[in-house]
Amino acid sequence: MKEDELLIHIDFSENYNCKQHSEIQSCHFGASHSQVTLHTGVAYTSDEKAHPFCTVTDYRKHDPHAIMVHLEIALKKFSVKMPSIKHLVFVSDAPATQYRNKQMFYYMATEFFKLKYESVNWNFLEAAHGKGAADGIGGVLKRTADRKVAQGMNIVNAKDFIDAVKDVQVDVIYIDNEEFTVEKATAAQWNGVKIPGTMKIHQASSLSQ
């Protein structure tokens, strides 16, 4: 990797089921728990340092529009810490409903360049590729949250979750639901064209020029 490159391995962690220290039986065994979405990742720079992060929200959808919001918020923080980064390399799994589809290809050709990056390279892993660093971050955060609940803390939403895991050495970022509403309204104005053979694509690249 070069000094102006950033490699980011990302994945959705399984939603966290909110919990309270003392719950009545119907709540504990029922389907009344709210959930928190965790989009986890590890960013790597040329100095071989790893930067674990997780965006957290009460918004439940994992579609391309939501993914772009998760990435934009995280990248804005990275741009402050790493202003020299010009080229992005993503590694993710390849579900058609999330990362590998026409909407994400559109974002690759437009939105990342609005954030002043010069190129985007996306690598899609094969099915059943196993666990990676991003998965480990979700596990650590959820175990920490469960431990805090056992100690008497109530976690009923994303802000409570962040408060519970604030001591973990992971950059945890809150995203308000309003951010997703704005992005979805913007995306609704675009009518994309399907790319033949999308499910056979394992790498996609986009350049600013």
- What pLDDT does 145 receive? 97
pLDDT tens figures, 144-158: 999 999 999 999 999
Q: Give the tens place of pLDDT for each residue, 19-45.
A: 887 655 545 554 567 899 999 999 999
Quickly state the pLDDT bin for 136 (edges 50, 70, 90).
very high
Q: What is the DSSP letter of 4?
A: T
Three-class HEC string of 10-65: EEEEEEEECECCCCCHHHHHCCCCCEEEEEEEEEECCCCCEEEEEEEECCCCCCHH
Q: Which two tokens stand for residue 2?
A: 């070069």
Q: What percent of the chain is predicted at pLDDT more than 70?
A: 88
Contact of 149 with 19, CB cutoff 8 Å: yes
Distance between CA atoms of 24 and 33, rounded to whole angstroms? 12
Q: Where residue 105 falls among pLDDT bands split at 50, 70, 90? A: very high
Q: Spell out the residues 6+ positions from residue 131 whose beta carbon is closer than 8 angstroms to its own.
A: none
* Statement: residue 99 has pLDDT above 70: yes
The pLDDT tens digits for 64-97 are 999 999 999 999 999 999 999 999 999 999 999 9
Would you state the pLDDT for residue 86?
A: 96
CA distances from 65 to 9, 104, 166, 180, 191 (A): 18, 8, 27, 7, 14
Q: Which residues pair with 88 in a beta bridge?
A: 6, 120
Q: Is the pLDDT of residue 127 over 90?
A: no
Q: Between residues 57 and 31, which one has the greater pLDDT?
A: 57
Give the global pTM: 0.90
Q: Which residues pair with 174 in a beta bridge?
A: 56
* Lowest mean pLDDT segment, chosen from 49-53, 128-132, 141-145: 128-132
Least Cα distance to 52 among 38, 68, 60, 41 occurs for 41
